[in-house]
Amino acid sequence: MPKPLRRITLLVVLGVLHGAAYAAPEGGPLTMSEAMTTLPDHTRYRVEIASADLSPQQVEQLATMIGDAARGQHFSGAVYGYRPLSGGTTEYKMRSGLHSRDAGRRGALADCEAARGADDGECVLVGDVLPDDWSAGTPELSHVAVEALRATAGSLPDNVVVAKSEDGDGFEIRSGTDVRDATVAACNEANASAGLPQDCLVVIDDLAGTR
């Protein structure tokens, strides 16, 4: 499990994952003012269980287990599990504290596939860890990035640019003129230092319409 970064107030919502519950925002980068009106509460998250074949009690048990494991480093994330050939309990692999549900799923699935043996059961999606108040158009940022953005928003001058890693937890916040390339470069540099792909992209850009 990822090492918790901090302990914060949270809310775990128990529920079965439905296809329409989450969809990545469409379009290009948001401006800072657009982003601030749609940022989720960084202290609250929900756990959505993927299987509709479980009893309410099983759903509650799984959601509680995932919610407890995600304390301190939560949205966004996902959990995959597999049954060992020898039987026994399901083995779970979780990624959390990432910028999107899809990044959490890719990471957790990769960890699951790396852990299971050739004769073990298939890796199956167990559930997702999402912002509690997510809605269409919400910037896909981790709870740490959202907290940092809220903390610095009032002191940032105009022309804010935010870059995030697609599959890692890195991000960079800068402001000023002509800072897009520098923001992405700094984000990628942090990824490279952590041994992660240099996959950063801009998600908030006050100058997006001036290119």
- pLDDT class for 44, splitting at 50, 70, 90? very high
Mean pLDDT along residues 106-132 = 96
Mean pLDDT along residues 85-89 = 88
Give the span between the Cα atoms of 49 and 153, in whole angstroms: 34
- pLDDT class for 209, splitting at 50, 70, 90? low
pLDDT of 3 above 60:
no
Question: Does an H or E element contain 42, and which?
Answer: none
Report residue 32 as tokens: 């800072």
For the chain, the average pLDDT equals 85
pLDDT of 198 above 80:
yes
- pLDDT class for 16, splitting at 50, 70, 90? very low
pTM of the predicted structure, to 2 decimals: 0.84
Q: Which residues contact 146 (CB under 8 A, 6 or more apart)?
A: 39, 40, 42, 131, 139
Dihedral sign of CA atoms 57, 63, 65, 68 in order: negative
Burial (CB count within 10 angstroms: exposed 0-12, middle 13-18, buried 19+), residue 137: middle
